[in-house]
A and B are shown apart, each in its own frame.
Chain A
Amino acid sequence: MRVTIDESRCQGHGRCYSIAPGLFESDDLGNGVVLGDGIVASDQERHAHLAVANCPEGAVRIEGA
Protein backbone atom coordinates (compact mmCIF):
# COMPACT_ATOMS: atom_id res chain seq x y z
CA MET A 1 0.00 0.00 0.00
CA ARG A 2 1.25 3.44 -0.94
CA VAL A 3 -0.20 6.94 -0.36
CA THR A 4 -0.08 9.77 -2.89
CA ILE A 5 -1.23 13.39 -3.01
CA ASP A 6 -2.65 14.86 -6.19
CA GLU A 7 -0.96 18.26 -6.12
CA SER A 8 -3.45 19.71 -8.56
CA ARG A 9 -6.24 19.07 -6.02
CA CYS A 10 -4.47 19.77 -2.70
CA GLN A 11 -5.48 23.16 -1.28
CA GLY A 12 -3.65 22.90 2.04
CA HIS A 13 -6.50 22.00 4.37
CA GLY A 14 -3.85 20.14 6.36
CA ARG A 15 -6.02 17.19 7.35
CA CYS A 16 -3.61 14.51 6.10
CA TYR A 17 -0.56 15.60 8.08
CA SER A 18 -2.67 16.24 11.18
CA ILE A 19 -4.24 12.79 11.08
CA ALA A 20 -1.25 10.82 9.78
CA PRO A 21 1.98 12.65 10.69
CA GLY A 22 3.85 9.40 10.05
CA LEU A 23 2.87 9.52 6.37
CA PHE A 24 2.55 13.21 5.46
CA GLU A 25 4.06 16.55 6.32
CA SER A 26 3.38 20.20 5.50
CA ASP A 27 5.45 22.17 3.03
CA ASP A 28 6.23 25.86 3.65
CA LEU A 29 2.84 26.84 2.23
CA GLY A 30 0.81 24.38 4.31
CA ASN A 31 0.18 21.95 1.45
CA GLY A 32 0.46 18.23 2.17
CA VAL A 33 3.56 16.31 1.09
CA VAL A 34 4.04 12.54 1.21
CA LEU A 35 6.94 11.49 3.47
CA GLY A 36 9.56 9.37 1.72
CA ASP A 37 8.25 6.93 -0.86
CA GLY A 38 4.76 6.84 0.64
CA ILE A 39 4.87 3.12 1.39
CA VAL A 40 2.49 2.45 4.29
CA ALA A 41 3.66 0.17 7.09
CA SER A 42 0.95 -2.16 8.35
CA ASP A 43 0.57 -0.25 11.62
CA GLN A 44 -0.09 2.95 9.60
CA GLU A 45 -2.80 1.56 7.33
CA ARG A 46 -5.66 2.87 9.43
CA HIS A 47 -4.15 6.36 9.43
CA ALA A 48 -3.72 6.18 5.66
CA HIS A 49 -7.40 5.34 5.17
CA LEU A 50 -8.45 8.13 7.54
CA ALA A 51 -6.29 10.65 5.67
CA VAL A 52 -8.07 9.70 2.44
CA ALA A 53 -11.49 9.83 4.07
CA ASN A 54 -10.91 13.27 5.59
CA CYS A 55 -9.39 15.17 2.68
CA PRO A 56 -12.00 17.77 1.68
CA GLU A 57 -10.60 18.00 -1.85
CA GLY A 58 -10.20 14.27 -2.51
CA ALA A 59 -6.48 14.82 -3.11
CA VAL A 60 -5.13 11.99 -0.95
CA ARG A 61 -5.20 8.54 -2.55
CA ILE A 62 -4.11 5.00 -1.80
CA GLU A 63 -2.52 2.86 -4.49
CA GLY A 64 -2.10 -0.89 -4.45
CA ALA A 65 -4.46 -1.50 -1.55
Chain B
Amino acid sequence: MWAIVVMLIGALIAAEELPDLIRGKRRGDIWLFAALLLAGTGLGVAQSLRVEIPNPLDAISFVFAPVGKFLEALFM
Protein backbone atom coordinates (compact mmCIF):
# COMPACT_ATOMS: atom_id res chain seq x y z
CA MET B 1 0.00 0.00 0.00
CA TRP B 2 2.77 2.41 0.99
CA ALA B 3 4.58 1.73 -2.28
CA ILE B 4 1.59 3.15 -4.16
CA VAL B 5 1.49 6.18 -1.86
CA VAL B 6 5.19 6.82 -2.53
CA MET B 7 4.63 6.61 -6.30
CA LEU B 8 1.66 8.98 -6.02
CA ILE B 9 3.77 11.49 -4.11
CA GLY B 10 6.46 11.18 -6.78
CA ALA B 11 3.86 11.90 -9.46
CA LEU B 12 2.55 14.90 -7.49
CA ILE B 13 6.05 16.34 -7.17
CA ALA B 14 6.57 15.92 -10.92
CA ALA B 15 3.24 17.65 -11.59
CA GLU B 16 4.24 20.51 -9.29
CA GLU B 17 7.73 21.17 -10.65
CA LEU B 18 7.80 19.97 -14.27
CA PRO B 19 5.64 22.70 -15.90
CA ASP B 20 7.96 25.46 -14.65
CA LEU B 21 11.05 23.43 -15.57
CA ILE B 22 9.79 22.79 -19.11
CA ARG B 23 8.93 26.45 -19.54
CA GLY B 24 12.47 27.31 -18.37
CA LYS B 25 13.83 25.22 -21.30
CA ARG B 26 17.01 24.23 -19.50
CA ARG B 27 17.84 20.64 -20.40
CA GLY B 28 20.29 20.15 -17.52
CA ASP B 29 17.77 21.26 -14.91
CA ILE B 30 15.14 18.85 -16.20
CA TRP B 31 17.54 15.87 -16.36
CA LEU B 32 18.90 16.39 -12.86
CA PHE B 33 15.40 16.85 -11.45
CA ALA B 34 14.17 13.70 -13.19
CA ALA B 35 17.15 11.67 -12.03
CA LEU B 36 16.74 12.74 -8.41
CA LEU B 37 12.99 12.19 -8.48
CA LEU B 38 13.42 8.70 -9.94
CA ALA B 39 16.05 7.89 -7.33
CA GLY B 40 13.81 9.19 -4.55
CA THR B 41 10.74 7.31 -5.73
CA GLY B 42 12.75 4.13 -6.33
CA LEU B 43 14.32 4.26 -2.88
CA GLY B 44 10.96 5.04 -1.29
CA VAL B 45 9.27 2.09 -3.02
CA ALA B 46 12.16 -0.21 -2.10
CA GLN B 47 11.98 0.92 1.52
CA SER B 48 8.22 0.44 1.72
CA LEU B 49 8.56 -3.09 0.27
CA ARG B 50 11.22 -3.74 2.94
CA VAL B 51 13.97 -4.36 0.41
CA GLU B 52 17.40 -4.25 2.01
CA ILE B 53 18.99 -0.91 1.01
CA PRO B 54 22.80 -0.72 1.42
CA ASN B 55 23.80 1.61 4.24
CA PRO B 56 26.27 4.31 3.13
CA LEU B 57 27.60 4.54 6.69
CA ASP B 58 28.98 0.99 6.36
CA ALA B 59 31.35 2.19 3.64
CA ILE B 60 32.31 5.29 5.64
CA SER B 61 32.90 3.19 8.76
CA PHE B 62 35.04 0.77 6.75
CA VAL B 63 37.44 3.61 5.93
CA PHE B 64 37.25 5.84 9.00
CA ALA B 65 36.52 3.54 11.97
CA PRO B 66 40.13 2.21 11.99
CA VAL B 67 41.35 5.83 12.14
CA GLY B 68 39.02 6.51 15.07
CA LYS B 69 40.12 3.35 16.87
CA PHE B 70 43.77 4.27 16.28
CA LEU B 71 43.14 7.72 17.83
CA GLU B 72 41.44 6.09 20.80
CA ALA B 73 44.40 3.74 21.31
CA LEU B 74 46.75 6.71 21.03
CA PHE B 75 45.04 8.78 23.71
CA MET B 76 43.55 6.26 26.11
A binds B: no
**Which B residues have a C-beta under 8 Å from some C-beta of A?**
none
**Which A residues have a C-beta under 8 Å from some C-beta of B?**
none
